[in-house]
Amino acid sequence: MARTVPQTAGLYPYVPGKPVETLLREKGLNRAIKLASNENPYGPSPRAVAAMQTAASEVHRYPDGDANGLKEKLADFHRVSRDQILLGNGSNEVLELMIRTFAGSDDEVVYARRGFIVYALATQAAGATGIAVPESDGLSHDLDAMLAAVNEKTKLVCIANPNNPTGTLHSNAALQSFLDQLPRNVVVIIDEAYYEFVADALGDSVHELNHPGLVISRTFSKAYGLAGVRIGYAIANAEIVALVNRFREPFNLNLLAQSAALAALDDRAWVMARVSETNAERERLESALEKMGLSGGRCFGNFVLLRHSKSGEILHRLEDHGIIPRPLAPYGMAEFLRISVGLPEENAEFLTQLETIMTSLS
C-alpha cells in the first residue's frame, strides 16, 4: 500500500449531488429531475454558449495563463484594480488555494460547523487544524463565537454568505462589525457563491466591507449557469493575490471557460432575469413547504430546506419518482433535505410528488 501524507487519515472525498445518469440506472427510469447541486436550470446566456462554440476551434492552443482579458473585465465590473483579481477553476479552487497558501501544520482555520464543507476538507488536506464553531440556532453562523475562537494560531476565517447548506445570510453591517474586531493579519474569506440572488438586499460587499485580509469569492457556477466549465474568482488585496498566485497552476482557467465568462459578463440582463425568476420560484417552494409543515428555515440563494424526522424515507421516495434532492446527513443535519430551485415545471412536479409521499407517510 502506498504511504500517504498523515492528513489523508479521516479525510473523505467530497460527495457531489447524485448525477441524473446514476439515478436512471439505479431505478430503471428514463427521466429524472436533478435538484441536488444548486445549479442554474436555465443554463448560461446564449452568448456564452456561442462564445464557447467559437473558442472550440482554438482548443489546440493553451489559454492565456493569466486570463488577462477576463481579469480586466472583472476589475472594471467591480471597480477594483486587475491585480486584485484571482481566478480559479471554480470558486472551490480559489478557496483551496487560499487555505493552502495561508494555513499549514500548527495553524488554525475557523469556520462554522455547518459552513460550506470544502473549508473543512481543504483545511485538513493542508495539514492545518479546522475549528468548527457551532451555529447559534443550529443554522446561522455565530459570529461572536467565531470571533472568540480566533487566537494567535488562526490564519484564516471562512464565512459563506449566504451559507450553503443552511441558506442563512448576514448583513454587510454585521459582517463589518465582525471584521472590525478581527486581527488585521488574519485572512477572512467571505464566500459569496450565491451573491447575485441576494445582491439587492445585501448591497455591494466589495466596496462596503473593509479589512486588510478580506477575500470575497464569487462564482460563475450559480446565477451565471456555467457550473460545468468551472470559473470562480476572488477579489482581495493585491498582496494576497500575488501570494496565492505562487500556488496557482499555470492555465488553471481553461480556454472555453475564459471565453464563456467574458461573454456572460456582457449579458447582465440575461443573468438578472434568471435571478428574479429563481427568487420567485424559491419563494413559491418555501411557502408550499411551510404550508405542509416541512420548512427547514428561510433560505437565501437558489435552494430551500425541507425538514422532517423521516427525511431519509422522503429522499428515497422522491428518487423513486425520478427527483434528486440532496441529503444533508454529511453536515450532521440528518432531518434535512436541500432542494435546489429548478424550472417552474420541475418545482411543480417536486411538490406534487412530495404531497403524495406525505399523504402516504402520515
Residues near ligand PMP (CB under 6 A) are 38, 90-92, 116, 160, 164, 191, 193, 219, 221, 227, 232
Q: Tell me whether residue 121 or residue 227 sits nearer to ligand PMP (CB atom).
A: 227
Strands 108-112 and 336-340: unpaired
- Residue 8 per-residue DSSP state: G
Contact predicate 95/216, CB 8 Å: no
Closer CB to ligand PMP, residue 121 or residue 357? 121
Alpha helices in 79-136 (DSSP H): 91-102, 118-125
Instruction: Report the C-alpha gap between 41 and 275 in whole angstroms.
Output: 11
Q: Which is nearer to ligand PMP, 191 or 286 (CB)?
A: 191
* Least spacing, CB of residue 221 vs ligand PMP, in Å: 3
Q: Nearer Cβ to ligand PMP, position 70 or 288?
A: 70
Task: Give me the least distance between CB of 92 and ligand PMP, in Å please.
Answer: 3
143 vs 193, beta carbon nearer ligand PMP: 193
Smaller CB separation from ligand PMP, 218 or 317: 218
- Rounded Cα distance between 147 and 190, Å, is 14
Find the residue with minimal CB distance to ligand PMP: 90
| Of 84, 96, 34, 64, residue with least CA distance to 261 | 64
Find the farthest-apart pair of alpha carbons in the chain and give their distance in angstroms, rounded. Answer: 60
Cell of 281: 420560484
Minimum distance between the CB of residue 343 and ligand PMP, rounded to whole angstroms? 19
If the CB atoms of residues 92 and 311 are measured against ligand PMP, the closer one turns out to be 92
CB neighbours of residue 85 within 10 Å: 22
Residue 257 to residue 226: CA distance in whole angstroms: 8
C-alpha to C-alpha distance for 89 and 166, rounded to whole angstroms: 24
Cβ neighbour number for residue 27 with a 10 Å cutoff: 13
Query: Minimum CB separation from ligand PMP for residue 119, in Å?
Result: 9
For residue 269, the SS3 value is: helix
Grid coordinates belonging to 46: 446564449
d(CA 116, CA 293): 26
203 contacts: CB under 8 Å, gap ≥ 6? 172
- Residue 279 CA to residue 269 CA, distance in Å, equals 15
Closest CA to 125 of 148, 149, 150, 93: 93
133 or 160: CB nearest ligand PMP: 160
Query: Minimal CA–CA distance to 43: which of 274, 258, 290?
Result: 274
For cell 443554463, what's the residue?
43
Q: Could you tell me the smallest distance in angstroms from the CB atom of residue 137 to ligand PMP?
A: 19
- For residues 188 and 357, which CB has a smaller minimum distance to ligand PMP in the complex? 188
